[in-house]
Amino acid sequence: MGDRNAERRPAGELEAGVLAALWAADGPLSPGQVQEQLGGSLARTTVTTILSRLFEKGTVTRQRSGRGFVYVPAEDASGLTARRMHAELAKDEDRGAVLSRFVSQLSSEDERLLRALLDGEGDAP
């Protein structure tokens, strides 16, 4: 029997793939439809488990469709990234230090963009 750990994907790769399939869709998808969008390489039970975990995290919403559920992303990719940034910021008691470190590591272009957004001059998507 082969080494199962050698076949494992990096953490978050499956969730990222499922989210990409949902973002690319025109509407809600069932686990079977997500499985098809991913090329059919994952078992439907695996896709269903990933969707259930994403639902528990608030990353996707679901609605009843027949005996199962269909899923849609709770927000777009930018919104999800922003939510993750907020969650990370909330983990640290010294928010000033975290924000200072974050800003100090921005590229000049990103710093200008952030400054314009904070001054109300930029167009936030």
Digit-coded pLDDT (tens) for 22-78: 999 999 999 999 999 999 989 999 999 999 999 999 999 999 999 999 999 999 999
Residues 69 and 61: their CA atoms lie apart, in Å, by 10
28-43: per-residue pLDDT in tens?
999 999 999 999 989 9
| Whether residue 123 has pLDDT greater than 80 | no
Nearest to 70 by CA among 91, 53, 48: 48
What local confidence, expressed as pLDDT, does residue 84 receive?
Answer: 87
Q: Which residues pair with 61 in a beta bridge?
A: 72
The pTM assigned to this predicted structure is 0.73
4-28: per-residue pLDDT in tens?
444 666 658 999 999 999 999 999 9
CATH number of 4-73: 1.10.10.10
| Whether residue 1 has pLDDT greater than 50 | no
Residues 34 and 40: their CA atoms lie apart, in Å, by 9
| Whether residue 87 has pLDDT greater than 60 | yes
At 30, list the tokens.
């069932």
What's the length of the chain?
125
